[in-house]
Amino acid sequence: MKPKHKKTAKAEKETALSGDVLYNAIMMKLEPDLLTFNLPYLDEKYHDESEEDRAARKERYAAAFTLFDLQLQNVTDALGTLAHESAQKSREELRKKEHAEHTKEMDRIAEILEDDSPSSRAA
């Protein structure tokens, strides 16, 4: 039976923080205004911008989110590939270990059978 893993509030917070870290790492290069810690200050920062500037900023934000999605997909794909490679290595290591254990057990059985054979008793 597999042990059940419950997410604690701390684990959920750590997961959320990890998401923020990844989001900010990608978005920092695209549009610093959209970093999680800058969002609360945007109204203050742009309180006196013109409608034209506001529209241009909104377009810039939309473009940044589009690029973010593409870059996040690239990161996700790369991490998925690395995870699959790690899983394959783990499977192979386990297979080799099981094979070695099986070989050792078969050698032990062969030794017992040899010790118990009529030719070995006559000696």
The whole-number pLDDT of residue 39 equals 96
pTM: 0.63
Residues 26-84 pLDDT 10s: 999 999 999 999 999 999 999 999 999 999 999 999 999 999 999 999 999 999 999 99
- Alpha carbons within 13 angstroms on the beta-carbon side of residue 28 total 8
Residues 6-22 pLDDT 10s: 666 776 666 666 899 99
Place of tokens 């604690």: 8
